[in-house]
A and B are shown apart, each in its own frame.
Chain A
Amino acid sequence: MTKQIRQLDRVVIRFAGDSGDGMQLTGDRFTSETAQLGNDISTLPNFPAEIRAPAGTLPGVSSFQVHFADYDILTPGDAPNVLVAMNPAALKANLADLPRGADIIVNTDEFTKRNLAKVGYQSSPLDDDSLAGYVVHPVALTSMTVGALAEQAVSKKDAERAKNMFALGLLSWMYSRPYESTLRFLERKFAKRPELVAANIAAFKAGWNFGETTDSFSVRYEVKPAKMLPGTYRNITGNAALSLGLVAAGVRSGLPVFLGAYPITPASDILHELSKHKRFGVVTMQAEDEIAAVGAALGASYGGSLGVTTTSGPGVALKSETISLAVALELPLVIVDVQRAGPSTGMPTKTEQADLNMALYGRHGEAPVAVIAPKSPSDCFHAAIEAARIALTYRTPVILLSDNYVANGSEPWLLPDVESLPDLRVEFATEPNGEDGTFLPYLRDPQTLARPWAIPGTPGLEHRIGGLEKADKTGDISYDPANHDFMVRTRAARIETIPVPDVEVEDPDGDARVLVLGWGSTYGPIGAACRGLRQRGLSVAQAHLRHLAPMPANLDEVLRSYDRVVIPEMNLGQLAHVIRARYLVDAIGYNQVRGLPFTAAELETMLEEVLKNV
C-alpha cells in the first residue's frame, strides 16, 4: 500500500522503557540520524540513579526525549507528540506528560498480567478505554524481533535485547530518517561480535519494513532540514562539550591540563572523556576522594599545569577548604560543578540550580572566586574555555556551574574554527621582580592584579607560599592588621574588576517593560517562552547571565531599564537574592525545584500574568 506523507515543522518523541531496554542508546541513535538530516535538535535523557532497578517497575523506567524541527529550537520540548512505551511501567510513568491526541507506540508483548500488576494496573490499559484520547499503536515488538531473528546465530535472549533496534527502525521509517549512521554505529559497537551486528541490523530493518507494510501506521512524516548557519555540525552533550573545551583550553594555553576527579553523578562523564585525550598531554587522576581531587589539581597548577577538578554539589562542599587555599595562593584552578538536586545525596540524576549560593559564598573567610555558567549543551565548550581564561589570566579559582540538564542534554553544535578560539598563553615568571634581585611573589600586575606565576624549577625565584596570610608583595607570613585588611580588599577587587562582557538584552520589539533574567541552563525554556509571547504580539525582554561573579558592568543599567524583572530559577531564588541585594531591584522570583527543567509553556503562562499586571 502507498503511505500518505505528511509534513510537520516539529516533533517531540519520547522513548521510554526499562533501564535495561537500551532507551538511552535508542534515543541517541535517533538523534544522530535526525542530526544527519539537518533538523535542529534538543534532547533530554531522564534516567534513574539505580543502575538496574527491579525490572518492569516504575523506579526502573528510563527515557530519552528528542525534539526536532525545521527551525531553530531551544528546548527538548514540553510534551511529547509520540511516546514509545516498551512496557506498562514506561506507559504509566509517562502518560501524564502526553497531550491528548498524542501517538503511543506500545510493546504489547510486555503487557502481561504480571507486568501490569507490578505497576498497579488492574486491567490492561490497552483493553479498556483509558487510552481513548490517544492514538495507540499496539506492536508486538519483542516477538516480532525474535521472529525476525529466527535465522540469525544469536540466542533468544540476545534476539530479545535487539527489540530497541526494531523500535528504532520503526520510528526511523515513520519520520523518514537516514539510517546509514546507525548501521555504521552498530558495526563499530559490536565489532568483536559480528553475529550481534547482523542481528541488530536485521532487527532495525525488520522495524523499518514493518512500518512500511503494516496497516497500523498509515502515515509517514517528514520534517524538513532547519535553516542553520553554514558550517560543520555535530550533536553534542554538555559534558562532552565541556570536556572538549578543557582540551581546547590546554591547546590554546600551551599548558598541560591536569584533571583531578572523584567519580560522581552527573560529572563522571567529563573524567571519562578527558581520560581519552592523553595525546594532548592531558593527565587525569581518579583521586581517593573529592578533597584529594582538588588538592592534586591545585598541586598541578602550582607546578604550571591548568589544574581542573570536576564534581557535583556534594563534592564542591568537600573541596571548599582547598578552594579557599587556592584563593590565598592566587593560583589558577577550574572547579566544574555539574549541579544536581540536593541537599545531601538528593536526586543525583535530576537537575537543579541550587549551588549558586555555595559557588558565590560557600567558603570560610572572605574568599571570592569567579563564577560562570553555560546556557546550553554546546555552550559548555565555550564556558570551559572562558573559565580557563579567567583562571589563567587572573590566577584565581573559577567555579563553572553546569547542571544535569545541560550536561546530559544535547544539541547540534556548529564546530568552531580552532584558530578563532581565544589565545590563552600565559607567561611564567622567569626573573626576579624586586630590588637587589629579590623575588616578590605577591607583587601584582597593576592591570590584572594577578601575582607572578613562578613555577618550581625556575632558578632564582625559590619562594614559599601557603594558607597563612601573606604580606603584600613579599608574601612573608603577616599578622599585621592593616596588611590583612588590604589583602582581603585586594582579593575582593581582584575578582570584582575582572572585565567580563556586557550582558546582552534580547528585545526585538524594543518596547518591552518586563525583563526576564536567567542564568545557566534555563536559557532554552526562557527563550522559548519569550518567543511564544512575542508570536502572540506581546513584548518581553530576555537577558541571560553567563558571568555570576563578577557580574557584567552594564547589568545595573539593564535592570533599571524595565518596570519589572522576573528571575526564573530551579532553586528558591538564589540569583534573585543577589540581584535584590546588589542592585536594590525588586525582582520577582519564579522558582521550581522538581528536578526537572522548566517547560516553556509554564514560563509563558507565568510571564503572561506578569505582563498583565505591569
Chain B
Amino acid sequence: MDRTRIIFLSIIGVTAVAVLGIFLFRPRPQPVVGLIGSEKQPFFQDERVQAALRRNGLDVRVQKAGSREIATAFNLREYDFAFPAGVPAAQKIQQQYGISTSYDPFFTPMALMSWRPIAELLVQQGIATNEGGYYLVDMVKLLPLLQNGTRWSELPGNTVFPVNQSILIRSTDVRKSNSAAMYLGLMSYVANGSNIVQTLNDARLLMPFLSGIFLRQGMQASSSQEPFEDYLVKGMGHSPIVMIYEAQYIAQAALGDATLLPDMVRMYPSPTIFTKHVLIPFSEAGHKLGQALENDPELQKLAIEYGLRNSNLAEFRRFTAEHNVRLPETIVNVVEPPSYEVLEGMIQMIEQLYQQQGGQP
C-alpha cells in the first residue's frame, strides 16, 4: 500500500470515528415524562415550545388525562411531573403523594362559549349583557333556569332556538376534570346566596341542585379539550352553552383559521373563577421543568400564544389585541373556589349519586 493511500485512509477513518462520536455522544436533553390536563397538550406539542424546553436541557413528553383523573387513576411515581389544571386537583395529588413543592406558571379564567342567537336571547331575558366583543352572563339570574329545569323552548319570545332540551351548561365530568370542578365551585357559590360554601353540611343542602347540573347532562367528557372541540364541530344544537377555559378560545382565535364562525360568541360568567395550572414535580427533571416554565421568558411568551395568562400582562394584552380578542379590562367579579375539603367533599357526594344510578365508578 503506498503512502498517500495510507494517509488518505487514516483521514477518512479519523473523520468517521469523529462523526460517529459526535453523533453518539452529543449532549442530549434529559427525557421528562409527565401527565397533563388535555387543554395543555397543544402547547406541549408545539415545536417552538419543545425547542425552548430543549434549550433548558429538557426533552418533555406528555400524556393527557382529566385533571382530577391524574390524581386518582395513575401511579404518578412513574412520571417526572403531573401538570393538572386547578388548585383542587393539584392539592389532591400533593396530599396523596406527600409533596409540598409546586409551580404555577400560568392561569386562566373560566369562560362560556355560546352562539349569537342564544346570547342575544339571554340578553332579551335580562340574563346577559352584550359588552361588545364578548358577553357577561349574570349567573345569579341564570340560576333559577338551571334550578327549575327550564327548557329552551319555554323562554318567552324564543324563536331562535326553540328546542326542547333543558337549559344546561355543557361541562366535563366533575369526577375527572378540573373545568367541571371549577363550574361546581362557581355554581355552589351562586346557589349558596353568593357565599362560598364553608361546610360539608351546607354543601349537602345544595346537592339536589348541584348534582343535577352534571347528572342531567348524561355522559360527559373526562377532559376539557373535548367539549370545546365538540362545540366547534357539532354546532349549536349539540352545545348551546359550554364551559371552557378562556385560554382555549384565545388559542383558537390566534390560529386565525376559519374555525371560529361569526356566530360563535364568548361569554364570561359573572362571577367567574380562575384556574391555576399547577405543576407538581416527582423528580429533579420535573423541578427543572417547573422552574423553566415559570422563569424562561420565551416559554412564558409561548404560553401566552396558547391563551394562558401569566405575569407578563403587557405581552398578553398585546397578543390578544393582535388577534382581535376583546377582553374585559379587568375581571372584577371573581370568586375563590371552596376549600379543598369542601370541593372534594362535594365531588364525592356527586360521585355517590352517580353510583346510586348505577353509573360508572
Do they bind each other?
Answer: no
Binding site for A on B (CB under 8 A): none
